[in-house]
Amino acid sequence: MTLPAYLLPSPDGVPWLTLLMLSPLAGLLLVGLGSWLRLDERTLRLGATAWTGVPIALAAVVWSRFDPGATAAGQGVVQLVERVPWITAIRVDYFLGVDGLSLPLVLLTVVMAPVAAIASWGVVERPRAHYALLLLLEAAMLGYFLALDFFFFFIFWEFSLVPAYFLIQGWGRDDRRAAALKFFVYTMAGSIGLLLLFQVIYLAMRQAGLPTFNLIDLGRLGRSLPVEGVEGSLREILFAYMERLGVAGALGRYPLLYTSIAFWAIFVAFGIKLAVWPFHTWLPDAYAEAPTAASILLSAVMSKMGAYGMLRIMLPLVPDASQYFAPVLGALALAGIVAGAFGALANIGGDIKRLIAYTSINHMGYVMLAIAAAAAAPGGATIDSRAIAVNGAVMQMVAHGLSTGALFFLAGCLHARTGSWLLADYGGLRVAAPAFAGVMGTALFANLGLPGLAGFVGEFFIFRGAWATMPLFTALALIGLVITALALLLMFQQLFLGPLREGLSRVPDLRPAELGTMLPVLGLLLLLGVYPAPVMNLANATATQLVAIFQNLLT
């Protein structure tokens, strides 16, 4: 299949993305083979954890072959593309590729998978099934970030729910069944509108002469960029289809009306996964009741799937509606920032995991603010300020994934030592476990945005970019920044400072395996805090291309 100039195949012809996506499934088969060979559980744990290094190696190869500066006719390109006709009757292609939006999240996924695998070493009930589901979840998340045909994109989006659901229900805490069901129903229900919308888009594109589920071509049409074989923008194509159906006669000849309907179908689906207020209520239950490994992957990676969907689909496909409703998005982001911050503060003395979960709502609110600011009406914005906001969102997702994953891992280690999730049961642990206090303190400071650590970079770029288009919402969001920092500091104080609580004197410090797991994560948080270029360079060209249309867009 001949590729257009904005799609670049692998320079060496090797299907690296397919190998990367399938590598966790190969590990799953090995877990099954180990069961057939009756390998003991210790060998199973070591083997499954070691296998998570294979996707890391393949992702490193993909990164080494990715050129952040590659362009075609002044536009960013999608690289290492693999595109093969799959279902020719409806023009579905097996279409994989990476760009500056997806590659950082692919790297985050493969880095956090071994952390989740090591966190599962304490699982004694059905460990083979547990590790199989972890590997299946990793494969689904990688497929989601790599797929560029909506058919496969949606399959991976929905399928990722299955292993996550069974991990929560099978190995979670006392209220795991209710939390798993709520998580599944929320996300599934939100996806219905997205699925129906793309059926309409496909039919509209068929009327225009090019039936396709190709997300890159649809995004280019949404931004009025040329696509071979199609005339007009996606907005014009959708309106023409509505006219043909007679809908335009009944509802009025307003193209923005129809792109607005499309916008809300997309936003609700991805807003639920991002836990945007008021769609956030599933998150504290799911994160708190899930087993530690599932909490790590849910918070570090799966929540980012919502933001990625907005950047990949919502902004490119319906930029006019995105700009029109940007103030609403900014208000919802602010509500989530403040609600998450005060929710975390309200859990001081309560459940550790629930407190961390509420900080995630707060931090994903910053990502939502950046997306809203990137799309907002020009005001005092420039293309650079919009690109800065998107760069900040990508950096915040990576930094939050690393720091929150580390916090959940360490919270699980505390529970394994004491049997308690309640902050009120702790105090003075710095005396008994000084290394534990230092490592968890570093992860905590990265999470609250201490300068010199990666969380600060993401938040700084978000606030810098959002100030140009949404100064009021950006200023008010500082409330959440302060309250979240207060909640996290109080959590650290409750856990590690003050007199040593009775019964905790023999709590062991971090073990070598736990310290070895955390040091690379903390190293990345420090490296990206003082030198964020590895992530920023990946995202910048794609971010600049994405936001260019919003500077002069008239809705």
Q: What is the mean pLDDT of residues 413-417?
A: 91
Which residue carries 């606030």 as its tokens?
463
For residue 75, is pLDDT > 70? no
For residue 29, is pLDDT > 60? yes
Are 128 and 270 contacting, i.e. CB atoms less than 8 angstroms apart?
A: no
118-134: per-residue pLDDT in tens? 999 888 888 888 999 99
What pLDDT is stored for residue 104 in this prediction? 95
Are 460 and 392 contacting, i.e. CB atoms less than 8 angstroms apart?
A: yes
What pLDDT is stored for residue 253 in this prediction? 66
What pLDDT is stored for residue 72 in this prediction? 60
* Alpha-carbon gap, residue 21 to 359, rounded angstroms: 30
Q: What is the mean pLDDT of residues 232-254?
A: 75
For residue 416, is pLDDT > 70? yes
**pLDDT interval class at 494 (50, 70, 90):** very high
Helical packing angle, 352-375 and 471-496, nearest 10°: 160
Least confident of 140-144, 209-213, 442-446: 209-213
| Secondary structure class of 382 (helix, strand, coil) | coil
What pLDDT is stored for residue 249 in this prediction? 60
456-484: per-residue pLDDT in tens? 999 999 999 999 889 999 999 999 999 99
373-391: per-residue pLDDT in tens? 998 887 777 788 889 999 9
Which residue carries 């476990």 as its tokens?
433
CA proximity to 19, closest of 69, 60, 50: 60
What pLDDT is stored for residue 236 in this prediction? 83
Single-letter residue type at 176: R
What pLDDT is stored for residue 48 in this prediction? 87
0.75 surpassed by pTM: yes
* Alpha-carbon gap, residue 280 to 266, rounded angstroms: 16
Are 163 and 134 contacting, i.e. CB atoms less than 8 angstroms apart?
A: yes
257-311: per-residue pLDDT in tens? 888 889 999 999 999 999 898 888 888 999 999 999 999 999 999 999 999 999 9
| Secondary structure class of 96 (helix, strand, coil) | strand
Please give the mean pLDDT across all residues of the chain: 89
For residue 315, is pLDDT > 80? yes
CA proximity to 540, closest of 55, 68, 118, 12: 68
CA distances from 351 to 167, 289, 424 (A): 20, 10, 9
**pLDDT interval class at 157 (50, 70, 90):** very high
* Alpha-carbon gap, residue 133 to 24, rounded angstroms: 10
For residue 368, is pLDDT > 90? yes
Query: Domain boundaries in the chain?
Result: 325-549
> Among positive and negative, which fits the CA dihedral 439, 445, 446, 451?
negative
CA distances from 441 to 13, 411, 435, 460, 485 (A): 45, 12, 10, 21, 12
What pLDDT is stored for residue 243 in this prediction? 80
